[in-house]
Chains A and B, each alone.
Chain A
């Protein structure tokens, strides 16, 4: 399979109606195996040099989606196109050239690095993948370390000899070692301290500018994603419920869930913190095995009406690439909520 499609024509990465279903053991062998759809009918596009943020609560399927996008997991339905080529079910062999171009950075720098390998060895794997000759290896490794702000002298150190922030830099250097076009970052800064978090976010930004990388930035921290992304997708129980340019999402959220998420983030400011309304939604996400009928956010939604219980809302463009899947988005007046009242669908 060729990955050398002419640049600029197709998006770099495109997912159409992607689905990832996991079998769930129910404990009883007589019961049929049930499935949970961790990723359910997700479509998205990523252009060259673009950063797409993906946010949502734990268990909403962010990481599963990330694993599909880098093909660490094979989608159970839908289509995944990389530079116009279908890689949805491509096997390991035909994936090899793509593997180099799509890299991933994991949440836990500790667990994702092989503790028995020295930093130099960790980085050499990717460099070999892209055919760097042995005599250039040392220089390239030092260059990579410098690039991510680590001391090139530390090439023979083991991961545990670095701090958490430095280990995440090693994870980023490892991803870059293969000279990728696209890096999928799964909670890359969640494990880090505030002051270190900002350093790593800036590093990612600089690398993107320098190398023209595209990112998929998965995180639950809305403030971090806001600054790092051009567009943002909000996930809820396997679905994208809202997707829009970053500023628009934060200034004018349309989905009641997005609005609630934003309202729940405590702002680091005394006056604003006091002025903010407190809890907007209650409860926790439904169990992915027992999805509610209609809209899956309905049990927690302050705007839900009868139609929400029967019709599963689809993503609709409200202008300016701002998509939302809701019967009563926030750019419409709040519905009357008397029982039995006609629902303004």
Chain B
């Protein structure tokens, strides 16, 4: 069965006043119905540009797009705007980080969902209103008949994000692209909304691309993980493999630098020195090189994204090779990666012995 979404060697380059900026540099992935792909990375790593490009929202005179984006077999990257609009209305929906910018402040939320429904479905206004109310109830809004008549500013941040999810669901999409859907929200609200989103997706086998920098959310939700850095994919594998056996030095450093609620309380957190690369003036070769403690001569050349684990040899005999592939973009050999990772993990993070300092 062909995957629902296939992205191949996607490149996005912006022409800016300061020069050309390669925001996305050779990113490939595929996604099947009902699966969750998490795209993680730091600010400016190209996550949002990737998402927006899937939706056809980065097109402009100053943008160069290369590669392929196939949705349900049809090319989207170079499709005419009319076809794109149809896909956006029916097949793919996006949830943005800041719901306030995506909602119209002077229109009742119910009316906004009605408009979306009627944009791709020829139903009467009252029928669409009924559907909008049902959708709002589905995403956990109490008394939806009443709340549908409210304006966005009358909702809390969490409620607004629920409205966005309802709007996204209104076109019965097969794929939802959620760009930091809960970053602006409190943990308790985030937890409720992610529960709901996950349940909605699993229930109706909607595929989800979850863009986030929250490693905890990734651990909880993802089937597959794509780690982005400086516009490139540095590691791409099933989530279990990424957490159990991270193969890129950036990935394992990132996983380690997350402050945790479990385990020992430490005085100093493990960190990654330096800061992410500028996309206007990226370092030559491996983008992580200036911050990588393990770089060597070869790292001034761009490493390819490739599998260094053979799933057969690595104790997954008979596993589906396509889905089980563990790719990373680093020149180190597999044994070196695992050895260096172990050394890094043993390196000091001062453990507190006593609460009062």
Which A residues lie at the B interface, using CB under 8 A?
49-51, 57-58, 163-166, 193-199, 201-202, 205-206, 208-209, 220-224, 226-227, 230-231, 245-248, 250, 260-270, 272-274, 276, 278-279, 281-282, 284
Contacts and interface: CB of A to CB of B under 8 A. Distances in A.
A267 B191 contact: no
A264 B42 contact: no
Interface stretch (B6-14, B15-23, B252-260, B336-344): B252-260
Contacts of A198: 257, 259, 269-272
B187 interface: yes
B243 interface: yes
A221 B240 CA distance: 25
14 contacts: A57-B189, A194-B213, A194-B257, A195-B272, A198-B257, A199-B272, A209-B357, A222-B187, A245-B356, A246-B265, A260-B188, A273-B219, A278-B195, A281-B188
Contacts of B257: 194-195, 197-198
Interface residues of B, number: 50
Residue of A49, A58, A164, A266 with most partner-chain B CB within 10 A:
A266
A279 B243 contact: no
Contact of A223 (B190, B260, B355): B260
A195, A197, A206, A281: residue with the most chain B Cβ atoms closer than 10 Å: A195
B346 interface: no
Contacts of B271: 195, 198-199, 202
A220 B184 CA distance: 11
Contacts of A197: 257, 259
Contacts of A196: 42, 275
A284 B240 CA distance: 33
Interface in B29-44: 42-43
A236 to B, nearest CB: 11
Contacts of A226: 259, 261, 265
A270 B219 contact: yes
B213 A193 contact: yes
B320 interface: no
A265 B187 CA distance: 6
B214 A266 contact: yes
Contact of B254 (A49, A58, A195): A195
Contacts of A273: 216, 219-220
Interface of B: 42-43, 156-159, 186-192, 194-195, 213-220, 239-240, 243-244, 253-255, 257-262, 265-273, 275-276, 355-357
Nearest to A51: B357
A113 B42 CA distance: 23
A324 B268 CA distance: 29
A194 B42 contact: yes
The 7 closest A-B pairs by CB, nearest first: A266-B216, A268-B215, A264-B191, A198-B269, A273-B219, A57-B186, A195-B272
A267 B258 CA distance: 9
Contacts of B42: 193-196
B159 to A, nearest CB: 8
Contacts of B239: 270
Given A270-B244, A273-B219, A282 B267 contact: no
A319 to B, nearest CB: 15
Nearest to A246: B355
B355 A230 contact: yes
B344 to A, nearest CB: 14
A269 B219 contact: yes
B214 A201 contact: no
